[in-house]
Amino acid sequence: MNIRDEDIFAVALRLSKPWFIEQVNFEQSEDGYVPRLRIKINFTRGAKFIVDGEAYTAYDTVQRSWRHMNFFQHECYIDARVPRVKTNGGNTLIPDVPWARPGSSFTLLFEAFAMSLVKNSMSLQEAGRTMKVDGRVIGRIIRSYVEIALCEDELNEVESITVDETSVKKGHNYVTILTNIKERKVVGVGVGRDASAFKQALTEMESRKASKEAIKHVAMDMPPSYIAATADLLPQAQRVYDRFHLEQMLSKAVDSVRKREAVAAKELKKTKYLWLRNASNLNERQSEKITYLAEIFPNIGKAYRLKESFKEIFNNAAPHQAADTLSEWLEDAEQTNLPEIINFCQSVRKHWNGIISFFNLRLTSAIAERINLKIQEIKRSAKGYKNMKNFIAMIYFHLGKISNPYPQLKAKNLFSY
């Protein structure tokens, strides 16, 4: 049996009636070295096309061209005579073609492969070089994909979220990120790091059919703007202040004590990370040094012991004991009369309910921190983003777990990277 070239490419492109390949040939490329492959597609005369649920025949055609995936070393293009139809309402429309999304000059397979490269850690520039297009073109493909997916991909109800900020570039450019803790994915992004950004992120989440009234818990650090926004916009939600943020605040207080003591004590200089490290992670020599310095300099010794006992409370206290245990710790800490420790205690008392909530719910912002690290990695790979919309699109693309919006590719699982 003789198999024509046209039949082979028709199978590869998954064409079905009324579409067929009319011609396959090579043409001289612009560089004069590697010829381009051009695939000409046509449709059978009298064929009907579905537009808005109705079948119409073409009354004329327009010529279109799409960039396709390379055929070995050859750039490949699809040329097609595309029908125009007149609807019952008198509108002139062009039906969708099965190999490309509306308005795109690239085939779906080209876009899918380009996005898979970026999904698997290539930068836009690297993916562009691989696909032999400008990296900005890959960025526009991803942004279109994300915009369509966000419109069509409804969220499940969100009960527990984290709220965090991350920088877009050097300076004071930030975005606010809402993350669904259960599904570990970004569900809202707002520009800035204030109450209006928080509201914008919630509005974006609700545009995908997840109600803010369903949110029961918000795990967060303690920036006043987010605290106020949560009280205003999510009055039913229980705030849970992140234990790791609290531990970091206390570590800074301990270091401040060390700095103050080190002014008159050379032995405390260059010991910063010794005091900040967990006691369980110290080797024998370091442990002996801590013990020796804590005896000679009791203020830093007290601060260090309080830091370690604070962590133990969060590691081991049972929910019904946590409030009493933490209250006892505060009384001991306040008796040190160390201003840095007193300031920390005041912050704990001010945010008491949200801190105690941790022991019942055991929620933290750890997933937000991991997402933040991934976002910074995305930013570094692109050497920064000048366009905020492109940056937000990349956040959703990598961290939103959005579904493939292109039904032509769902059956072949081409978007399961």
Contact 118, 76 (CB under 8 A): no
Helices (H), 168-262: 195-206, 224-233, 243-262
Question: What is the C-alpha to C-alpha distance for residues 190 and 193, in angstroms, rounded to an integer?
Answer: 8
The DSSP line for 2-69 is ---HHHHHHHHTT--TTEEEEEEEEE--TTSSSPEEEEEEEE-TT-EEEETTEEEE-SEEEEEEEEEE
Tens of pLDDT, residue by residue over 146-162, are 998 898 889 999 999 99
Instruction: State residue 403's pLDDT score.
Output: 79
Report d(CA 21, CA 9) in Å as an integer: 8
Average pLDDT over every residue of 409-416: 44
**High-pLDDT (> 70) share of the chain, %:** 91
Q: Positive or negative CA dihedral for 316, 319, 324, 326?
A: positive
**Rounded Cα gap, residues 356 and 323, in angstroms:** 7
Residue 414: predicted pLDDT: 41
Given pLDDT bands bounded at 50, 70 and 90, which one contains residue 355?
Answer: very high
pLDDT of residue 71: 82
For the segment 238-289, what is each residue's pLDDT rounded down to a tens digit? 999 999 999 999 999 999 999 998 888 888 888 888 898 888 888 899 999 9
What is the mean pLDDT of the segment spanning 45-61? Answer: 90
The 10s digit of each residue's pLDDT in 396-412 is: 999 999 877 665 555 44
What is the rounded average pLDDT of the residues 192-210? 95
Buried/exposed 255-294: b ≥16 CB within 10 Å, e otherwise: bbbbebbbeeeeebeebeebbeeeeeeeeeeeeeebeebb
Q: What are phi and psi of 208, to 5 degrees?
A: -105, 25
337: left (phi over 0), alpha (psi -120 to 50) or beta: left
Mean per-residue pLDDT of the chain: 88
Cβ distance 267 to 293 under 8 Å? yes
Does residue 211 surpass a pLDDT of 50? yes
Q: Reading across the β-sheet that carries 160-169, which strands appear in turn?
A: 185-191, 173-180, 160-169, 217-220, 238-241
Strands 217-220 and 238-241: parallel
In terms of pTM, does the model score above 0.95?
no
**CB contact at 8 A, 161 and 213:** no
Q: How confident is the model at residue 75 (pLDDT cuts 50, 70, 90)?
A: confident
User: Could you give the 3-state DSSP secondary structure of residue 400?
Assistant: coil
Answer whether residue 294 shows pLDDT above 70: yes
Q: pLDDT tens across 87-106, in order?
A: 888 889 999 898 898 889 99
* pLDDT of res. 263: 87
Specify the pLDDT at position 172: 64
Share of the chain above pLDDT 90, in %: 60
Q: Contact at 8 Å (CB) between 261 and 297?
A: yes
pLDDT at residue 32 tops 70: no
The three-point CA angle 320-334-293 to 5° equals 105
Predicted local confidence at residue 278, as pLDDT: 86
CA atoms within 13 A on the CB side of 213: 1
Q: Is 34 in contact with 75 (CB distance < 8 Å)?
A: yes
Q: At 350, is the pLDDT very low, low, confident or very high (cuts 50, 70, 90)?
A: very high
What distance in Å separates the CA atoms of residue 237 and residue 158, rounded to the nearest whole number? 12
At 35 the pLDDT is 84
pLDDT classification of 310: cutoffs 50, 70, 90: very high
Task: Give the number of other Cβ atoms within 10 Å of residue 67's Cβ.
Answer: 20
Q: Which structure tokens are listed for 367? A: 């997933």
Cα 321 to Cα 49: distance, rounded to the nearest angstrom: 70
pLDDT the model gives residue 410: 52
pLDDT greater than 50 at residue 1: no
Contacts of 408 (CB under 8 A, 6+ apart): 98, 99, 108
CA proximity to 22, closest of 69, 91, 78, 87 = 78
Whether residue 5 has pLDDT greater than 70 = no
Max CA pair span of the chain: 96
* % helix, strand, coil for the chain, step of 5: 50, 20, 30
